[in-house]
Chains A and B, each alone.
Chain A
Amino acid sequence: MIPIEHILLLSALLFIIGVLGVMLRRNVIVIFMSIELMLNAVNLSFVTFARSLDSMTGVVFIFFIIVVAAAEAVVGLSIILSIFRTRKTLNIDEFNLLKW
């Protein structure tokens, strides 16, 4: 039985890698994949806690997280598609519509 701390550390590491990916990469698709990575890291820590607490609630919650991640990826990618049609680039600096 691996000590819980190791798995938790792994999940934190994955999470930080996702965060770095969001902040440092330019390609929009890569940023999306980093977001998915973050969500999965959280999944991992949920499972760990569920096991160590002898509870199934954590697993059910993972179920929900996966569904939401899927939905969000779908909608996000469709938005990227429609913005791409005008700007013809995937550089996130061109996606600067979130201002006045």
Chain B
Amino acid sequence: MLNAEFVAVIQVLVYAGAIMVLFLFVLMLLSSKDSEQYVNKWSVGKILAGLLSLGIFIQIAGLFTANELQLGSKGEYPLEVVEEVGSITLIGRLLFTDYILSFEIIAILLLVAVIGAVVIAKRRFQ
């Protein structure tokens, strides 16, 4: 409906494929004593949290459903162009021309994250 097939596929691949697997690996390593019982007590903080969240939801919803919802200016890729050229092509073009700097930066970010993770989680051998 939103004609964003590329996003959908990438989401499935990355989240279900990579991040969930990562979580599972971590859970495997964290095999602590089983079934720790977390006693969930009601407290002032929790009630306050619930109320605040409700309040925020109402505010954001109000924003989104306002009658004079003002959107920005229209872009250059209407539905027909996307269907014709293909979303991947368009995204690729944008990535490597207009947003090349950000692209490089997140590449380095990924590198740093990997190195950091290895360093932090390394088991120090005596």
**What is the interface of chain A, defined by CB distance below 8 A to chain B?**
1-2, 5, 7-9, 12-13, 15-16, 19-20, 23-24, 26-27, 29, 32-33, 36, 40, 43, 47-57, 59-60, 62-64, 66-75, 77-82, 84-85, 88-91
> What is the distance, in angstroms, from A71's C-beta to the closest C-beta of chain B?
4
Task: Indicate if the CB atoms of A81 and B29 lie closer than 8 Å.
Answer: yes
Q: How far is the CA of A32 from the CA of B15 in the complex (A)?
A: 13
Task: Indicate if the CB atoms of B15 and A84 lie closer than 8 Å.
Answer: no
| Interface SS of chain B | helix
Task: Indicate if the CB atoms of B90 and A56 lie closer than 8 Å.
Answer: yes
| Interface SS of chain A | helix
- Are A47 and B117 CB-contacts (below 8 A) given A13-B57, A81-B26? no
- Are A64 and B7 CB-contacts (below 8 A) given A19-B53, A70-B19? no
Q: How far is the CA of A7 from the CA of B61 in the complex (A)?
A: 11
**What is the interface of chain B, defined by CB distance below 8 A to chain A?**
1-4, 6-7, 10-11, 14-15, 18-19, 22-23, 26-27, 29-30, 32-33, 36, 38, 40, 45-46, 49-50, 53-54, 56-57, 60-61, 64-65, 71-79, 82, 87, 90-91, 94-95, 99, 102, 106, 109-110, 112-114, 116-118, 120-121, 123
Q: How far is the CA of A44 from the CA of B32 in the complex (A)?
A: 36
Task: Indicate if the CB atoms of B38 and A56 lie closer than 8 Å.
Answer: no
Contacts of B29 in A (CB 8 A): 81
Residue of A29, A72, A73, A74 with highest tally of chain B CB at under 10 A: A74
